[in-house]
Amino acid sequence: MSSEPVSDPIDDRHLREDRVTSTQVYRGHFLDVRRDTVRLPDGSEAAREYIVHPGAVMIVPLLDDGRLVVERQFRYPLRRAFVEFPAGKLDAGESVLACAVRELAEETGYRAREWARAGVLHNAIAYSDEGIEVWFARGLVAGQRHLDAGEFLDVFTITLEELESMAASGELTDAKTLIGMLWLTHWRAGRWVLPWQAAPDGMVDA
């Protein structure tokens, strides 16, 4: 086998795995766990276990003074509270922007006059197909929160520099929030572009 580097990274046919069979192992209120048999590039077979996810959004909310709106929420699998940007999963048939608008308002009470889609992140590519859409929101208007039943979280504001300090110390470890910080840093430095758009009608002062 050649040790030369691959010159065309788009041609990944020599890496692909093809599904042979698929079994739903577990279906709960939230999780859909699958176990597939796949054919590997060399013709042999292997098992792949993974979670099918409906998709989610994360919002980076920017106040006019440059501070950020974040949350502190207890995450049961790790038995501790995490600092995070607001986020939530897509409802069936819901558009990504509508989900972002809804989650920001429900969790923080804020509505935004402008929105920008940064991109999508895949936070667990080895065992889930989850994609988290990253959106930025500015021109924030404060309002009343409407948390879901059983949802408990604190909302507060913080500077990017304070978040960076938390990341450097190991206190901030949430992957999506770290990606949001990366986008924010590059956008503020003029290296990455955010395509801002006005909020949909009726989604600012509702």
Evaluate if residue 16 carries a pLDDT over 50.
yes
The residue among 98, 113, 121 whose CA lies nearest residue 61 is 113
Name residues whose C-beta falls within 8 Å of residue 15's C-beta, 6 or more positions apart in sequence. 41
- Please report the pLDDT score of residue 144 as a whole number: 93
Helix (H) or strand (E) holding 124: none
Cα 52 from Cα 34, distance rounded (Å): 7
- The answer to whether residue 149 scores a pLDDT higher than 90 is no
Percent of the chain with pLDDT over 90: 86
Write down the pTM of the prediction: 0.91
Flag whether pLDDT at 99 surpasses 80: yes
> Is 9's pLDDT higher than 80?
no
pLDDT band for 203, please (50, 70, 90 cuts): low
Q: What is the pLDDT at residue 106?
A: 96
d(CA 26, CA 35): 10
Mean pLDDT of 120-128: 96
The CA distance from 145 to 172, in Å, is 24
32-61 mean pLDDT = 97
Count how many residues are written for the chain: 206
pLDDT at residue 200, rounded to an integer: 87
User: What's the pLDDT score for residue 29?
Assistant: 87
When pLDDT is averaged across residues 38-59 and rounded to a whole number, the result is 97
